[in-house]
């Protein structure tokens, strides 16, 4: 049997990723090899001549073949980082995005005196968990329509040592209380845009977390229609939105009687966050 060293498997993985047009092939290969061998990425270069076992070789070849068909790195690793916290992910939840960190950052900065939050469509729980970590004594309720997402969200809350009340609800169907903040990063991609997404997203992340009817606006409409019943007197709504949706969501918000509407941009200067009072 041929001997495989870390150097040899690294070169092989990089070549495989280049053949299959995986972006950042070297970084991907290093990350996956380090993960499988349970070492730090930089340690690879101290251990280049180290021989790997047959089991390790098989495990690395297996994950390289998963990445070669464009499965996201985060699903292969089973985790990602969000606002500095480790968040478990699998195919049942959207991989939390950097844009969503901006939403959370804004709330942490601007909303220090609130008592209660409802996070609609919590997915991995990334928003709710980060807010629980950074806002003191806030009661947080987080919902999703998908049972499998709620399982991961609960595991993430336990792992990050925060107390959040998770439960299943179709938007407001099983929500009873009123909240100082209603937050949602709902599915907001129109079917037309969804069809154009790269396979890394379209073939692996749950469609139910991404695509929405009515040009991607249906969840904003459904949330805004009922929001007043679930907001305290000075309650506010925070949304993550698609880059071209601010005008249309403003119209919807006005239709349901909201008048204080603000839009905030992301780091690429796209409209990304809305605050509606
Ligand atoms: C864009 S993902 C956001 C996930 C997570 N909050 C984040 O920001 O990473 C939208 C989430 O909404 C959930 N969802 C879809 N339809 C829903 C509904 N009718 N009621 C509640 N949640 C829903 C999906 O399962 C998914 O977890």
Dig out the tokens for 168 from the structure: 């299943």
Q: How many Å apart are CA 101 and CA 98, to the nearest integer?
A: 5
The rounded Cα 104 to chain-centroid distance in angstroms is: 12
Q: Which atom of ligand 1 is nearest to the CA of 124?
A: 5
138 lines ligand 1 (CB under 6 A): no
Residue of 74, 106, 123 to mutate, ligand 1, most atoms within 8 A of C-beta: 123
- Best residue among 83, 150, 185, 209 to mutate for probing ligand 1, ranked by most atoms within 8 Å of CB: 209
Token output for 213: 């009817």
**Closest atom of ligand 1 relative to the 103 alpha carbon:** 8
What is residue 1's predicted lDDT score, i.e. its pLDDT?
64
Gap from CA of 247 to ligand 1 centroid (Å):
22
pTM of the model: 0.96
Give the separation between CA 103 and CA 93, rounded to whole angstroms: 18
Predicted pLDDT at 202 = 97
Q: What is the pLDDT of residue 125?
A: 98
How confident is the chain (277 residues) per 10-residue block, as mean pLDDT? 92 98 97 97 96 97 98 98 98 98 98 97 98 96 98 98 98 97 98 97 98 98 98 98 98 98 97 98
pLDDT of residue 2: 83
- Rounded Cα distance between 131 and 72, Å, is 26
Evaluate the CA torsion angle 25, 31, 34, 36 in order and state its sign: negative
- Ligand 1 contact, 149 CB (< 6 A): yes
Neighbouring residues of 127: CB distance < 8 A, sequence distance ≥ 6: 96, 100, 103, 104, 119, 142, 183, 185
Chain centre distance of CA 185: 9
> Which residues neighbour 158 within 8 Å (Cβ) at sequence distance 6 or greater?
none
Q: Where are the beta strands (DSSP E) in the chain?
A: 79-82, 85-88, 116-120, 139-144, 165-168, 179-184, 231-240, 261-265, 271-276
Which DSSP state fits 45? G
| Dist. CA 145 → ligand 1 center (Å) | 7
Question: Ligand 1, closest atom to CA 146?
Answer: 25
Torsion sign across C-alpha atoms 68, 70, 75, 79:
positive
Say if ligand 1 is within 6 A of residue 121 CB: yes
């Amino acid at each position: 049997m041929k001997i495989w060293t870390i150097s040899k498997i690294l070169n092989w993985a990089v070549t495989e990723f280049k053949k299959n047009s995986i972006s950042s092939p070297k970084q991907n290969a290093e990350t996956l090899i380090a993960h499988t061998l349970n070492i730090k990425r930089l340690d690879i270069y101290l251990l280049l001549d180290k021989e790997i076992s047959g089991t390790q070789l098989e495990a690395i070849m297996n994950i390289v073949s998963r990445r070669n068909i464009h499965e996201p790195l985060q699903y292969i690793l089973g985790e990602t980082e969000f606002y500095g916290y480790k968040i478990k992910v699998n195919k049942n939840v959207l991989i939390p995005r950097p844009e969503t960190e901006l939403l959370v950052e804004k709330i942490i900065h601007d909303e220090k005196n609130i008592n209660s939050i409802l996070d609609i469509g919590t997915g991995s729980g990334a928003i709710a968990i980060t807010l629980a970590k950074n806002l003191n004594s806030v009661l947080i309720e987080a919902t999703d329509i998908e049972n499998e997402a709620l399982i991961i969200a609960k595991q993430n809350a336990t792992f990050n040592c925060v107390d959040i009340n998770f439960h299943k609800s179709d938007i407001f169907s099983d929500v009873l209380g009123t909240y100082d903040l209603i937050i949602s990063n709902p599915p907001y991609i129109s079917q037309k845009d969804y069809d154009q997404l790269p396979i890394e997203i379209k073939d692996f992340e749950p469609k139910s977390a991404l695509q929405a009817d009515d040009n991607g606006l249906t969840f904003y409409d459904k949330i805004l229609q009922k929001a007043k019943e679930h907001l305290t007197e000075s309650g506010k709504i925070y949304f993550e939105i698609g880059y071209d949706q601010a005008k249309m969501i403003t119209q919807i918000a006005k239709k349901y009687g909201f008048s204080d509407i603000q839009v905030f941009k992301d780091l690429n200067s796209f409209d990304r966050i809305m605050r509606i009072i």
